[in-house]
Amino acid sequence: MHRFYIDSSAEGCDEITITGDDVVHITRVLRLGEGDEIIVCDCVGYDCLCKVVRTCKDEVTAKVQSREKNNAEANIDITLYQGVPKGDKLDTVVQKCVELGAVRIVPVAMKRSVAVIKDPAKKAQRLQKIAHEAAKQCGRARVPRVDCVMSFADALSDASGADLRLLPYEAEKMSSIKNVLRQSNDVKNISIFIGPEGGFDPSEVELAKDRGFSVVSMGPRILRTETAPLAAITAVMYELGDW
Amino acid sequence: MHRFYIDSSAEGCDEITITGDDVVHITRVLRLGEGDEIIVCDCVGYDCLCKVVRTCKDEVTAKVQSREKNNAEANIDITLYQGVPKGDKLDTVVQKCVELGAVRIVPVAMKRSVAVIKDPAKKAQRLQKIAHEAAKQCGRARVPRVDCVMSFADALSDASGADLRLLPYEAEKMSSIKNVLRQSNDVKNISIFIGPEGGFDPSEVELAKDRGFSVVSMGPRILRTETAPLAAITAVMYELGDW
């Protein structure tokens, strides 16, 4: 069933009003009308099974049939800091990482990032749309946020509040992500840094180490920049999340 | 460094001769010649650091500098049986699953597979090439095999010898892949079945259950057909493999 997000709580509501881009999507793209069922996910993580009662140009009104907790959000918040890759790889990374359960994705301009994001706001907007669609498709209770591209230094500062900060690095042979995760108790939020195509510059790894990051290996096979975040998020969800 | 595979053991060899398609790749695409270094991976899992000594139209001869065990193969053999998806998703699945460590990939025509592989032999050949390139890129000791498309019934029989057979299913709420993997000891080879875009048909799930498959969940978020195999292989490598 089609899923839509609203910015308010639907607690105690008999009817829900949907406005904005979703109106066109519901009425013109999906051609839904009176009597059709949709799921409206409210801002406090509840899925409302609704029946469309009225549509007009600017809003869709739906009657709430039932309201129940959405359980598709893990008890752990993962923020991915992705080194800007080439081409449309960032699109794929955003889509897949939303499916796998990340709550926030931050593109990071790293030393070896070849691609340059020319219009950061526009790019973030586009990626946010991909995140929105992915969240709908996989049944998330909330839409993960995609930030504008950051510098590596800013990303380090941004991540400083996380309970655990991971940096998977192909040159790391001693410390595995598995050992680090298994030794992590009471972790509520995790930051994961992933290098771009050429990997991290060693100076970036040193800087992150100095700031208390755990530099880890993810097995002996070298993962591509767009594969590594998926593997890292899967590992976290498997060990500490809701798998 | 560029990696090439040969079908023989290089044990005790002073020189290695490379023939076939790789000759064009080495001489014309990469424009390598006398004195350039390459890695030649032999059929018994050793990486030979070599220096090119001669090139001609049909072969490249390289002198072995050193030979050491390649450790990029896990102690667990994973075969992925992937429900045929739409478009070029199979290409992505093959590439990523090789990176993550699968040893064999079998496309399976499932009830809900919309796409039909018109020329199975040609498709397998194309996917095998993708597997070859992915193996080179991520440093594998061997090139995983890609089979021709199979029927669901044939795939079930094909997988019957595996120590553990997993079927991740979005409707499964009780048994998690994590619990199953944690209870699996002495497992050397695993078969993983992944449904196509519309998921498995319930009759396929029942059939697999009857044959002793473990039907498992991979968290509460619905993963796309091309994301699910990556997550499943990561979980296996994390729990039982070489992470």
State whether residue B220 sits within 8 Å of chain A by CB.
yes
Give the pLDDT confidence of A18-70 residue by residue, as tens digits.
999 899 999 999 999 999 999 999 999 999 999 999 999 999 999 999 999 99
Give the pLDDT confidence of B107-164 residue by residue, as tens digits.
999 999 999 999 999 999 999 999 999 999 999 999 999 999 999 999 999 999 999 9
Inter-residue contact B213 to A235 (CB < 8 Å): no
Domain coordinates in residue numbering, chain A: 3-69, 77-240
Give the pLDDT confidence of B183-199 residue by residue, as tens digits.
998 999 999 999 999 99
Give the pLDDT confidence of A63-114 residue by residue, as tens digits.
999 999 999 999 999 999 999 999 999 999 999 999 999 999 999 999 999 9
Average pLDDT, chain B: 96
State whether residue A219 sits within 8 Å of chain B by CB.
yes
Which chain A residues have a beta carbon less than 8 Å from that of B224?
Answer: 96, 99, 137-138
- The whole-angstrom distance between A241's CA and the closest CA on chain B is 9
Inter-residue contact A138 to A98 (CB < 8 Å): yes
Residue B230 pLDDT class (50, 70, 90 cuts) = very high
Inter-residue contact B16 to B62 (CB < 8 Å): yes
- The whole-angstrom distance between A240's CA and the closest CA on chain B is 11
Q: What is the pLDDT of residue A18?
A: 95
Q: What is the pLDDT of residue A225?
A: 98
Spatial distance between the Cα atoms of A239 and A183, rounded to a whole number of angstroms: 10
Q: What is the pLDDT of residue B185?
A: 86
Nearest to A227 among B96, B177, B178 (CB): B96
pLDDT mean over A158-162: 97
Residues with Cβ within 8 Å of residue A4, at least 6 apart in sequence: A18, A22, A26, A38, A39, A40, A41, A136
State whether residue B136 sits within 8 Å of chain A by CB.
no
Q: What is the pLDDT of residue A185?
A: 86
Spatial distance between the Cα atoms of A168 and A124, rounded to a whole number of angstroms: 24
State whether residue A45 sits within 8 Å of chain B by CB.
no
Among chain B residues, CA nearest to A242: B219
Q: What is the pLDDT of residue B144?
A: 98
Among chain A residues, CA nearest to B237: A219
Q: What is the pLDDT of residue B208?
A: 98
Which chain A residues have a beta carbon less than 8 Å from that of B177?
Answer: 243
Reduce the secondary structure of chain B to three states and give it as a string: CCEEECCCCCCCCCEEEECCHHHHHHHHHCCCCCCCEEEEECCCCEEEEEEEEEECCCCEEEEEEEEEECCCCCCCEEEEEEECCCCCHHHHHHHHHHHHCCCEEEEEECCCCCCCCCCHHHHHHHHHHHHHHHHHHHCCCCCCEECCCEEHHHHHHHHHHCCEEEEECCCCCCCEHHHHHHCCCCCCEEEEEECCCCCCCHHHHHHHHHCCCEEEECCCCCCCCCCHHHHHHHHHHHHHCCC
Q: Where does A3-69 sit in CATH, by number?
A: 2.40.240.20
Among chain B residues, CA nearest to A219: B243
State whether residue B1 sits within 8 Å of chain A by CB.
no
Nearest to B241 among A140, A219, A241 (CB): A219
- Collapsed DSSP state (helix, strand, coil) of residue A62: strand
Q: Could you name the CATH architecture of A77-240?
A: 3-Layer(aba) Sandwich (3.40)
Give the pLDDT confidence of B24-51 residue by residue, as tens digits.
999 999 999 999 999 999 999 999 999 9
Spatial distance between the Cα atoms of A65 and B152, rounded to a whole number of angstroms: 40
CA distances from B238 to A141, A220, B134, B189 (A): 27, 12, 20, 15
> B241 vs A234: CB contact, 8 Å cut-off?
no
Give the pLDDT confidence of A213-243 residue by residue, as tens digits.
999 999 999 999 999 999 999 999 999 999 9
Q: Which helix (H) or strand (E) holds A166?
A: strand A164-168
Among chain A residues, CA nearest to B240: A178
Which chain A residues have a beta carbon less than 8 Å from that of B100?
Answer: 221, 223, 227, 231
Q: What is the pLDDT of residue B78?
A: 98
Q: What is the pLDDT of residue A134?
A: 97
- Tell me which of A234, A237, A240 to substitute to probe the interface with B (most B C-beta atoms closer than 10 Å): A234
B3-69 and B77-240 have identical folds: no
* Owner of token pair 């979980």: B235
pLDDT mean over A160-175: 96
Which chain B residues have a beta carbon less than 8 Å from that of A219?
Answer: 74, 101, 237, 241-243
Spatial distance between the Cα atoms of B156 and B165, rounded to a whole number of angstroms: 10
State whether residue B171 sits within 8 Å of chain A by CB.
no
